[in-house]
Amino acid sequence: MTYIFGHRGLPRIYRENSITGLNKAFDHCDFVETDLRITKDNNIIFYHDSFIKDFFIEDLTLNEIELLLPDIDMSDMIFTSRTQITGNVNFEIKSDDTKKENLEVLIKKIINMATYDDIISSFNWEVIHNYKDSFNCKYGIILDNEDNLFEATALSNHDNQIMFMVSNNVINSRNFNLPLNRTVVWTVNDEKEFERLMQIGLYGIITDIPDTMQLYKK
């Protein structure tokens, strides 16, 4: 069975990465995909970008973030307990520009919070590799470039657990040969492409419109 992943929840209906939107997405999909960042005071928030109004999130406390985002309910973006989300989650560890020590705090926190069927993934392959023996859930690396396929294939040959979160252009590359049952494709919003990909044995497909794409689930 191919699982449907709601990309940052239901971003066309609710604010992306909001806890409300993530939970509402489970009316239509099997997983949600969401982004995690670490704050200056070592709290985890659901947020995609590395900056808020030109301030780097890693350098902001929760109180400072609240002042910068007065229209957002902070309880809808702070991650303190796995019980806040009611279904399976693909947690993407956002690592761009994040200091190594802060990244380690973030991944240790999420490892302790994740449940067995969750996935922890990142563009930072090194941090996933370094902590793979600590995961009590699935783990994966993210690819958005065909040039990364050779190295990813080598990793697959040595690790039969690692998953691959690949962009749609990568899976359509003639050089793609990663195991389909450990591959999740992002982000697919074209219905014909989604229907085609549902037929080939992928682990999952990430979409902004799981409420529409659920129609193609067999």
Q: Please report, rounded to a whole number, the percentage of residues in the chain having pLDDT higher than 90.
A: 96
What average pLDDT score do residues 126-148 get? Answer: 96
- Burial code (b: 16+ CB inside 10 Å, e: under 16) for 13-31 equals ebbbbbbbbbbbbbebbbb
What's the Cα-to-Cα distance from 110 to each of 18, 92, 164, 206, rounded to whole Å? 17, 10, 19, 21
Look up residue 30 and give its amino acid: D
In the prediction, which pLDDT does 218 show? 63
The model's pLDDT over 62-102, given as tens digits with 9 standing for 90+, comes to 999 999 999 999 999 999 999 999 999 999 999 988 899 99
- The residue length of the chain stands at 218
Provide the CATH number for the domain around residue 131.
3.20.20.190
Q: Which domain holds residue 194?
A: 3-216
Is residue 38 over pLDDT 90? yes
The model's pLDDT over 151-206, given as tens digits with 9 standing for 90+, comes to 999 999 999 999 999 999 999 999 999 999 999 999 999 999 999 999 999 999 99
**What's the rounded Cα separation, in Å, for the pair 148 and 78?**
33
In the prediction, which pLDDT does 217 show? 82
Q: How confident is the model at residue 107 (pLDDT cuts 50, 70, 90)?
A: very high
Total domains present in the chain: 1
In the prediction, which pLDDT does 98 show? 85
